A and B are shown apart, each in its own frame.
Chain A
Amino acid sequence: MVKVIFYNLLRSKYNVKEMFVNPGSIRNIIEEILEKNIEMNSSDFKTCVVFYKGVPIHFLGFQKMIEDNDEIIITHFVGGG
């Protein structure tokens, strides 16, 4: 299983910290998250950033495959000062 850690906006908005999903592409993982959490809005995931092994991945890179037993962080970046 893949451990998904929700951070900042998603954690605050949906009160969910983490969940375990099947390995697959980030796109597949998000689909599974949305199936299991019907209150979540898919548009929140279009603007999110996924950190996998320290590397940020944006929407256009969501075909990236996540292996079994790995961990990802789903968050949104901030750019204000």
Chain B
Amino acid sequence: MNIMNKQFINNLGILSEADFSAMHDSHVVIVGLGGLGGNFSNNIIRLGIHNITLIDFDKFELSNLNRQLFSNQQNIGKYKVDVISAALKTINPNCNIRTINNRIENINLKDLNHIDYIVDAVDKPKTKIFLSKLCNNLNIPLLHGACAGWYGQVGWITPGCSLLEETYKGEVSGLETSLLNPSFTPSAVAAIMTSEFTKYIQGSKETTINELLLIDLYNNKMIKTGKNYG
């Protein structure tokens, strides 16, 4: 089957056919299907990612409606993995989507087929630390994303790098407890996660690796925290 069909033709302005093929063949595991994970899954299915595993234990609730892309009045009370899997299938019926309705701490990812990338879209710092250690053990890169209020953080964490563990060390929560998350920040941060994802697959030198891209939507600024973190 020709994987490059008209559905994805407009991605080819920035993707080579080799990039597209690499994306198509990769297996992406998205952990957390809230504001970040929902928007990110939407972005990558439209980018042409073919193999996706969705992990979340939660159901949609009313308070999700302000920012979580696939939530609506009809699916309140339904499991996020089921709703989002069905929605992604309507965008690309040919994609392979696996759903796991459980907490990441309870899952043995070694049972899954080969994983290329794990995406951190969870909402608890302690779970982010867990994911960082998990990816280190599995020897695969982690795409980190986080947001609160006007602000976000994005960056690739490669095996052996303890940046996330150091950043979240000893802290049970960040600004999200006071600033919460408005309608627009998760989608903006998920878009930047997707561009970082794309650059990583392309092997771009502009990719944010083992540092954090700090996003400030209030002041319209983005800065990197700096290299030299091993």
The residues of A that contact B123 with a CB separation of less than 8 Å are 79-81
Q: Which of A9-54 contact B (CB under 8 A)?
A: 9, 11-12, 17, 49, 51, 53-54
A-B contact count (CB 8 A): 110
Is B143 at the interface (CB under 8 A from chain A)? no
A76 to B228, CA, bound (A): 20
Known A11-B216, A81-B37; contact A73-B175, beta-carbon cutoff 8 A: no
Q: Is A81 within 8 A of B122, CB to CB?
A: yes
Q: Which of A17, A53, A58, A80 contacts B169 (CB 8 A)?
A: A58
Q: Is A53 within 8 A of B170, CB to CB?
A: no
Shortest beta-carbon distance from B80 to chain A in Å: 12
Shortest beta-carbon distance from B151 to chain A in Å: 4
Is B141 at the interface (CB under 8 A from chain A)? no
Apart from the given pairs A56-B167, A78-B147, 20 other A-B contacts in the complex at a CB distance below 8 Å: A7-B223, A9-B175, A12-B219, A54-B227, A60-B170, A73-B214, A73-B226, A77-B168, A77-B174, A78-B146, A78-B148, A78-B151, A79-B148, A79-B175, A80-B35, A80-B147, A80-B175, A80-B176, A81-B122, A81-B146
